[in-house]
Structure 1
């Protein structure tokens, strides 16, 4: 089987690729030299999707490409960059699928639980249909609409609405560890906002599950079945590190440093992976305490 991955150098893609071998892997990347340093030389690299005429050679396409949504203030320019890095790549992949005489059997396309917008403590599964119309929702809605255009009797489409991916190998948890290890960690804002998370191993095995189960199609929440509040998460992380959890990050400080993107930390969603569980997937890390065992290990 031949698999094409966009966003292959990111946290999810770079850790997924070893699980997909011995399948033949191709990675679309704008920086081949950097990708080779991260992923090695046994992968076929594509520096442009514009040069492709179709995707006849591929049975599976995994679309994870996108400018990081956190880390920079959401200026108009940055919002446009975030949008186009997702929308343009997805649109091009769908064009190539439609141009194929033998189209891929599966397109897995990224999205995020930001689709739902801020939702307080409302329990949310994939049937939830009253999202709040903020930037995150608008970004994900268009992203998903584009991906769904690839669906046909020959190509199934799975869209993954991903929560915060936890691992010591990188991502959000790695950035949190230093202040917590110094005893300076604590809840963000009032700490009551829900924090829907997924351990990296479940993220990866969940993707493999979608690939090998031909009945899987449509929307899937990629979150653990037991979301926690930010306060609960903060205390669990501090406990795992054997550190205190006294400090709070004030909302005003986040607004000053992050602007509108602070909404990602100050508001949350209480998201359940109903369709993934119903399809037969069993979580390796269903509870936050077990998921955070990784930070105890050197």
Structure 2
């Protein structure tokens, strides 16, 4: 296949690149800072030479967007928005110019589109979508993505949870705090954590590519959300750390200022399950957090 990954130089993009290249697919990366022959310049705003790469592509995957791991200042909020919606718009414009359009377009979204929930599990069908900055970004993103209906290009929005891997994302940070005795629960520890192992993330994307009946918004997460307290307990046990300091909300609020981040990333309860993937028959290699952590620590 010919696979285009827009914004593909981060943790998820690099993982997908390796995954598909090992299966002998052609992978081209759209990036602001190309460094190799299979990386092509784009500014995520304007039609350019990059748009020709979409011609007759099998798959377009859009991962472009400023990281939400920052303070939600007005400037950062504007950049989070402007890095998502315009890039989606310009990709649609580029597809419209193609004589032979991509067969499938996967666009990033987030499991944080659902409300804070400690008890109710949010599926694609019955999940409750709320109203705050993060959820509204996701809603605007998906609305822009699905605004134009195209019979030639199947569209899937990837409502992805926390992806656990050794090469980026949350897991290296969790290992570090646990190593230094700070691996207790955050807040009351009751907030649910929806997660997926990086290998299952890549496999889920491949599964969606190959199952033409999958379209619309899809939860990309392991089937068993866990509490923050259980996650940290499992991590301490696997790392053989008997002790981990808890962090109260006020401590997290103070630390988030110095770490230039937001406590929402730790304290929001993301209780999301992949109902459609399970109904379609996707088999997770890592359905328990214990097996996921064990494999990541072995590497």
Shift of 1:184: 2.2
Where does residue 12 of structure 1 map in the other structure?
12
1:119-134 map, 5 Å? 119-134=117-132
Using the TM superposition, give the Cα deviation of residue 144 of structure 1 relative to its aligned residue in structure 2, in angstroms.
0.7
- Given the alignment, which residue of 161, 164, 181 partners 1:163? 161
* Pick aligned residue for 1:112 from 105, 110, 113: 110
In the TM superposition, 1:139-288 aligns within 5 A as 139-258=137-256, 261-288=262-289
Q: Distance in 2 between matches of 1:42 and 1:213?
A: 30
Comparing 45-54 with 239-248, greater Cα deviation is found at 45-54
Question: For the Cα contact (< 8 Å) 1:117–1:134, is it kept in 2?
Answer: no
Runs of 4+ in 1 over 6 A off after TM superposition: none
Indicate which of 41, 45, 59 corresponds to 1:46.
41
Q: CA deviation at 1:75?
A: 0.3
For the Cα contact (< 8 Å) 2:8–2:29, is it kept in 1?
Answer: yes
The yes-or-no answer on 1:24 pairing with 2:46 is no
Deviation digits for residues 93-127 of structure 1 (CA, Å, limit 9, x no counterpart): 11212232321110000001110131232111001
Measured in 2, the distance between the counterparts of 1:17 and 1:178 equals: 27
Verify the 8 A CA contact 1:6 1:27 in the aligned structure 2: yes
C-alpha distance in 2 between matches for 1:297 and 1:220: 30
* C-alpha contact (below 8 Å) 1:117/1:136 kept by paired residues: no
Unaligned 5+ segments in structure 1 are none
Q: Provide the aligned length of Structure 1 versus Structure 2.
A: 290
CA distance in 1, matches of 2:140, 2:256: 24
* Cα separation, 1, equivalents of 2:132 and 2:243: 31
Distance 2:33 2:217 in 1: 30
Aligned residue in 2 for 1:62: 61
Do the aligned partners of 1:27 and 1:44 also contact (CA within 8 Å) in 2? yes
Q: Which moved more, 1:207-216 or 1:150-159?
A: 150-159
Report the alpha carbon displacement of residue 235 of structure 1 after superposing the two structures with TM: 0.2
